[in-house]
Amino acid sequence: MEKQLYFIGICPPHPLEQDIHRIKEEFYQKYGIKGAFRSKAHITLQMPFHLADKKVSPLIKGLEDTLYFQKNFLVEIRNFNVFEPRVIYMDVVRNKKLEALQQMIEKYMKQYQVFNGTHKNRGFNPHITVAFRDLKKPTFYKIWNEVKGRKFQESFEADSITVFKHNGNDWDNYKELKFGNAE
């Protein structure tokens, strides 16, 4: 039985996604790090999981049903933060609607025997990663010293989630699921 690797997240709209991409590009130009380019900018709702090919269609259909009553909500991104010493990210302001959506998806995924391991260890900490994986400690501290005082403030209306699929090297957008899509 063939299994593929997936994860679920919320993607910012194109203009904001381009701004975030430029920040990743800045770090690549200055420091040669490129790990954050492996996926489009996103807020992870369900960390990566393996799923058999025959379960993908039922998973998507069930997510669509789960999102039927989901309303759009505002997501605010404010400044930078870290998971020391390997991840630099843009901080997403805590939000009851975002947390409720994440909990709803986490509960739904349990029927597929998929669990959010990070949630048990740290709780849900919404963020958009801009540097990680190939980020070594000395470079981490250089970048962190550069951005910890940098101001960044944007917001967007979340109206969908995206299921990402790993292609062997990077993450592709597999399926975008709109909120209230069954209406």
Q: Name residues whose C-beta falls within 8 Å of residue 92's C-beta, 6 or more positions apart in sequence.
A: 43, 75, 76, 77, 78, 98, 126, 127, 128
User: The domain spanning residue 12 has which CATH number?
Assistant: 3.90.1140.10
pTM of the model: 0.93
**Residue at 145 is within a domain:** yes
Work out the angle at residue 46's Cα, subtended by the Cα atoms of residues 153 and 92, and round it to the nearest 5 degrees.
10
**Residue at 41 is within a domain:** yes
Show the domain range for 107.
3-178
**Residue at 138 is within a domain:** yes
Q: Are 121 and 58 in contact (CB under 8 A)?
A: no
Q: What is the pLDDT of residues 59-98, one digit of tens each?
A: 999 999 999 999 999 999 999 999 999 999 999 999 999 9
**Residue at 82 is within a domain:** yes
**Residue at 172 is within a domain:** yes
**Residue at 183 is within a domain:** no
Q: Name residues whose C-beta falls within 8 Å of residue 57's C-beta, 6 or more positions apart in sequence.
A: none
Q: Name residues whose C-beta falls within 8 Å of residue 78's C-beta, 6 or more positions apart in sequence.
A: 91, 92, 93, 152, 153
Q: For the chain, list residues with pLDDT below 50.
A: 119, 182-183
Domain count across the chain? 1
